[in-house]
Amino acid sequence: MATVKIPPVLRASTDGEKEISAAGASVGDVLRSVTESYPDTSGQIFGPDGDLNRYVNVYLNNEDVRVLEGLDTVVEDADTVMILPAMAGGAG
Amino acid sequence: MATNYQDFLSKIKEQIPEVDPTEVEAILQSDDPSAVVVDVREQQEWDESHIPGAKHVPRGYLEQRIGRAAPDLDQRVILYCQSGNRSAIAAKTLIDELGYTNVESMNGGITLWKQRNFPITIPFQYSDAQRIRYSRHMLLPEVGPGGQQRLLESKVLLLGAGGLGAPVALYLAAAGVGKIGIVDDDVVDASNLQRQVIHSTETIGEPKVESAKRTIEKLNPDVDVVTYNTRINADNIMEIIEGYDVIVDGVDNFPTRYLLNDATVRLQIPVVSASILAFDGQLTVFKPYEGPCYRCLYPVPPPAELAPSCGENGVLGVLPGTMGLLQATEVLKLILGIGEPLVGRLMLYDALAEEFTNLKIRRDPNCPICSREPDEISEDELGVFPDYEAFCGGVVTG
C-alpha cells in the first residue's frame, strides 16, 4: 500500500492522522481509498466532476502528478502521495 | 616544448582581438551598450575598484560563470583585467574552448582606463566599526567586502512584524541589510510575545512597526527602517513595494497573497514566502519568470468555507523562528547571488517529525499572470479572483 501524507489543514478530517496507508493502483484510486476511509476529505480533494480540485496539488514522490499522468499516474507500494491544498496559513 | 610567459602571452595576443579603452568607454556611455564588459580579475581587485557597468567573472570561475554574464555565444564580449594580460588569456579560452565568436580583450586593462581619467566605481568605504561588525561576513569568500556592500545597499520589505517577520527582521538587520521596510497595522499584544521576539513586555500596546524599529535600531544603527503602519491593499501595494529588491511574505490570507503575487510579477520582485500552522511550515521563493508564481501553484483559492487559517490558530512558539530564519537565509542568498535559491521548490517542515521535504513546483505555461510580459499586466487585474471579498477581508496580520 502507498503512504499518503496528510497536511495539517486536512488533519481535522482524518482524525488527526498525518500518514495513512491506502491501497490503489493509481493516484486516483489511492485518493478515493482515502476519501472512503475519511469521507470528510472528499469535498476538499475532489470537485463535483470527480477531478482534483484546482486548489489542491498532489505529489507522487515529490513530483506534481499534473506533470505525470494526473489521477491515472501509476502508484507502487513504496510510493508516497502528498496532498497539499492551498494554504495561506498565518504569519503567527 | 617549454616556453616562457612572455612568449606565451605574445602568441596569445597575436590570436585574439584587442579593443582600446576609449572605444569601451563610448560603448558603456551609450543608452544601449552593444557589448557586455566583463572584469576577469580576482574578487579583491574588483572590490578595490572597477569599471561601472562591467560584470564580474573572476578568471578562476570563467568557464562556470561566463554564461550568466554573457548568455549568447555570438554577442560582443569585452574582457578586461589590470593590464590586459589575464583578459587576453581569458578571451582565448572563451573563443577556443567555449565557442564565443565575438570576444575582445581591452588593451592596457583598468590601469590604462584610469590613466585616461575614465570613470571608475569608487570602492565602498567601511568604517572601522563596520569592519568589526561584519568581519565574519568579510571572511566568507562568498560574501566578502563586495557582498557586504551589496547587503548594505539592499532594500528588503517585510509584510508583517509578527511571528515570521520578527526573526527575519532581526537577522536581516544583524546581517546589515541597509533598508528594511515593515508593513503592519497591528499593535503588540501580550499573546504575541511567546514567539514575536522583536517585541518586548515594555512595548505592549505600541504599534508593531514602531516596536520593531526601536529593536532594530538598537541592534544595528546601519539599518534604515521604514515603517508602514497600514495594511497592504490594492490601492497602496504598488506605491509601497516598488523599489524594494526582495519581499518577505508571511501573509495569512488569500486575497493579499494573490494581490502580492500579481504586483510582484509585474514589478519582477522576488518574494520569499512562508506559512506556518501548528507544528508545520512551508517555504518557497517566487522569483518572477525564473520559477512558478503563486498562481501557477494555485490558480484559484479554495472556497471560503474550506480556507484554513482565517481565524486564530495555535502555533509552537519556535516554529515561526525556524521558518523565519530559513526565509532570512533565502533573502541573503538572493541579494548575494549565491547558492541555489528555493525557486521551483516548495519546502515542507514538520517540526514534530523533524522532517524536511522538498517538492518540485513548476511554471504553468498557461498561468493567467506570469505567462505574460510584465507590462501586459494591468493594475486593474492585480489580485483579482472570484469572491475576492468573501475571504478574510484582505488582512495582513502579525
DSSP letters of B222-244?
Answer: T-EEEEE-S---TTTHHHHHTT-
What is the distance between the alpha carbons of residues B25 and B47, in angstroms, rounded to a whole number? 20
Q: Which of B256-260, B262-266, B338-342 is predicted with the least confidence, judged by mean pLDDT?
A: B256-260
Judging contacts by C-beta atoms under 8 Å, the chain B residues touching residue A9 are 277, 308-309
- Per-residue confidence (pLDDT) for residue B43, from 0 to 100: 80
B270 or A9, which is more confident: B270
Residue A11 has what DSSP assignment? G
- Per-residue confidence (pLDDT) for residue B66, from 0 to 100: 94
Condensed to tens digits (0 to 9), the pLDDT of residues B263-296 reads 999 999 999 999 888 899 999 999 999 999 999 9
Closest residue to B397, CB basis, from A44, A64, A91: A91
Closest residue to B313, CB basis, from A62, A85, A90: A90
Looking at the predicted structure, is the pLDDT value of residue B31 above 80? yes
Show which of residues 345-374 on chain B sit within 8 Å of chain A, judged by CB atoms. 346, 348, 350, 353, 357-362
Closest residue to A55, CB basis, from B163, B298, B358: B298
Show which of residues 145-204 on chain B sit within 8 Å of chain A, judged by CB atoms. 160, 162-165, 195-196
pTM of the model: 0.76
Considering Cα of B61, then B67, then B69, then B74, what sign does the dihedral take?
Answer: positive
Condensed to tens digits (0 to 9), the pLDDT of residues B184-241 reads 999 999 999 999 999 999 999 999 999 999 999 999 999 999 999 999 999 999 999 9
Q: How many helices (H) and strands (E) does chain A have?
A: 2, 5
Computed over every residue of chain B, the mean pLDDT equals 91
A–B interface: beta-carbon pairs under 8 A: 107
pLDDT band at B379 (very low <50, low <70, confident <90, very high): confident
Condensed to tens digits (0 to 9), the pLDDT of residues B306-336 reads 665 545 678 899 999 999 999 999 999 999 9
What percentage of chain B has pLDDT greater than the value 90? Answer: 78
Looking at the predicted structure, is the pLDDT value of residue B247 above 50? yes
Closest residue to A90, CB basis, from B309, B350, B361: B309
What is the distance between the alpha carbons of residues A32 and B179, in angstroms, rounded to a whole number? 51
Closest residue to B162, CB basis, from A54, A82, A91: A91
- Per-residue confidence (pLDDT) for residue B397, from 0 to 100: 37
- Per-residue confidence (pLDDT) for residue B395, from 0 to 100: 38
The arithmetic mean of pLDDT across residues B91-109, rounded, is 96
User: Among all residues of chain A, which has the CA nearest to that of B297?
Assistant: A57
Looking at the predicted structure, is the pLDDT value of residue B29 above 50? yes
Task: List the single best residue of A3, A5, A9 to mutate versus B (max B Cβ within 10 A).
Answer: A9
What percentage of chain B has pLDDT greater than the value 70? Answer: 94
Judging contacts by C-beta atoms under 8 Å, the chain A residues touching residue B164 are 91-92
Q: Which of B22-26, B282-286, B392-396 is predicted with the least confidence, judged by mean pLDDT?
A: B392-396
- B394 touches B159 (CB < 8 A): no
What is the distance between the alpha carbons of residues B366 and B329, in angstroms, rounded to a whole number? 31
Check if B304 contacts A (Cβ < 8 Å). Answer: no
Looking at the predicted structure, is the pLDDT value of residue B20 above 70? yes
Q: How many CB atoms lie within 10 A of CB B197?
A: 19
Q: Could you tell me the three cell numbers for B16? A: 585574439
| Candidates 3.10.20.30, 3.30.360.10, 3.20.20.80, 3.40.190.10; CATH matching A2-85 | 3.10.20.30
Check if B321 contacts A (Cβ < 8 Å). Answer: no
Judging contacts by C-beta atoms under 8 Å, the chain B residues touching residue A67 are 362
- B157 touches B331 (CB < 8 A): no
Q: Do B302 and A57 touch (CB under 8 A)?
A: no
Condensed to tens digits (0 to 9), the pLDDT of residues B140-171 reads 989 988 899 999 999 999 999 999 999 999 99
Q: Which of B183-192, B341-350, B373-382 is predicted with the least confidence, judged by mean pLDDT?
A: B373-382
Looking at the predicted structure, is the pLDDT value of residue B396 above 60? no
Q: Do B359 and A90 touch (CB under 8 A)?
A: no
Judging contacts by C-beta atoms under 8 Å, the chain B residues touching residue A44 are 302, 306
Query: Rounded to a whole number, what is the distance in Å from the CA of A92 to chain B's nearest CA?
Result: 5
Looking at the predicted structure, is the pLDDT value of residue B122 above 80? no
Q: Do A64 and B360 touch (CB under 8 A)?
A: yes
Q: Do A43 and B162 touch (CB under 8 A)?
A: no
Q: Do A90 and B300 touch (CB under 8 A)?
A: no
Check if B330 contacts A (Cβ < 8 Å). Answer: no
Condensed to tens digits (0 to 9), the pLDDT of residues A34-74 reads 999 999 999 889 998 889 998 899 999 999 999 999 999 99
Phi-psi region for residue B195, left (φ > 0), alpha (ψ -120 to 50) or beta? alpha
